[in-house]
Structure 1
């Protein structure tokens, strides 16, 4: 269970929770959007800017996506910060996701240089996720977070990489962070969560242990 409830801490879902939520996105287009957030760690405006041309699915066993790094300051496309990389390459590790991308492109044949999700406002995909959460909860599915947004998927992507022992510099590159400090916050969350999950206790009943001074 994710425990990152501190002020200023990124809130995330564990991989099994994401797997439970994704099927509740209403159709193939919405589900592919959710899966893309989860598999790429893209910001909402970065994901909405993706076209088929950004995906390289024919690179042998190493498919990837090229994401134009956009720092969201206001609603819309936003601008990158000074010093922030303009493009980043994110490997697509999940074979099932890559296969669904191929099938989606073959079935719907989206134009190569047009956005995959032609929405009028970034509020539309937010509503997709809200509806998916409501439908999941109506079926009795519970999540460790009260509020789930597109940004939750980005945080979840970062935490999943860290839990999989991906080096911090690599996580920083995949996330498109200009500063290492932006990535390091996830290690603090990880350290906090691990401590709680280990159930460390400092109060031990005296009757259950022998008192012994060492040294």
Structure 2
């Protein structure tokens, strides 16, 4: 068994070019598998059938491993046995019939409307503060991704018509609406603040750092974390929290799911439906809290 594992890891390293971390994960999964087979006196890999694999997965489940870990192990087993089949070491892949383990989807972290009001009111009236306030208002008003925000150019904004042109995943372009309030803030930032932050006329990025450059993902993350601390809100707030809050608040207030899907740039509506689950969970919690017959 160990020989086959070594051959497989070498294959992944040379043919697939996997990272050391990925190779170590595969090796660890297969080490547990090899130990299980030895403990159950299965000496030959061609004696492994689907039932053996099912019992191994059951064994892992009883050890209270997470669904994510078990799912990864199943994938490892499927690929490992496929390798052995391709090498004519076994006659069939017994892992092909394993049922995927579905773990519970963790609901996205979001802010309440009250918390968002506090956070958005945290920046001061300095140039950087006005920029940061506008930046966060745009995130909340549009629900765009971090990568989309930092790639927005000045020419992508139309404050008069009230929209921003965004380039999303797969270079798919979409038009995202913004409120009149945010359009006015953007207009003020573009005319009064942005020119004072610029160091070069060649920079077309909408949001400019204190050094006169466009924001990076890390730079934006640090900016949001700064206001998380200043706001006193005891939640893990990231740039993506604005996206989750945007979608949750819209759906809580009766927005059409398809419209929210379009604004978020989701290709599949099932991705958007997670926000209806958040809304339902909140309603259930309020019901339990306030119904007189608890």
* TM-score bracket, shorter-length normalisation: 0.7 to 0.9
- Structure 1 length-normalised TM: 0.74
Give CA-to-partner distance per residue, 1:97-133, whole Å, 9 cap, x none: 1111111122145569711223463111111111111
Match status 1:30 vs 2:132: yes
Gaps of 5+ in 1: 1-5, 71-79, 206-215
Q: Which residue matches 1:87?
A: 173
**Contact 1:52–1:112 under 8 Å retained in 2:** no
Structure 1 pair 155–120 and aligned structure 2 pair: CA distance change class (3 A): closer
Q: How many Å separate the matches in 2 of 1:41 and 1:47? A: 10
Structure (1 or 2) with the larger CA radius of gyration: 2
Q: Which stretches in structure 2 are left out of the alignment for 5+ residues?
A: 1-103, 196-200, 208-212
Following the alignment from structure 2 to structure 1, what is the Cα–Cα distance between the partners of residues 289 and 192? 52
Find the aligned partners of 1:7 and 1:179 in 2 and give their Cα distance: 16
Whose RCO is larger (CA < 8 A, sep 6+)? Answer: 1
Q: Which whole-Å CA distance do the structure 2 matches of 1:44 and 1:65 have between them?
A: 14
**Which of 181, 187, 204 is the matching residue for 1:114?**
204
- Whole-Å separation in 2 of the counterparts to 1:21 and 1:201: 28
Q: Is 1:41–1:175's contact at 8 Å kept on the other side of the alignment?
A: yes
SS in 2 for 1:154: helix
How large is the Cα RMSD of the aligned pairs? Answer: 2.5
Higher helix share: 2
8 A contact 2:160–2:183 mirrored in 1: no
Q: Output the CA distance in 1 between the equivalents of 2:189 and 2:219.
A: 20
Cα contact 2:111–2:245 (8 A) shared by 1: yes
Which residue of 218, 235, 254 maps to 1:165?
254
Equivalent position to 1:129, from 193, 207, 224:
224
Question: Which residue of the other structure, out of 87, 90, 112, is the alignment partner of 1:14?
Answer: 112
Match for residue 193 of structure 1? 282
CA 175–129 in structure 1, closer or farther in 2 if over 3 Å, else same: same
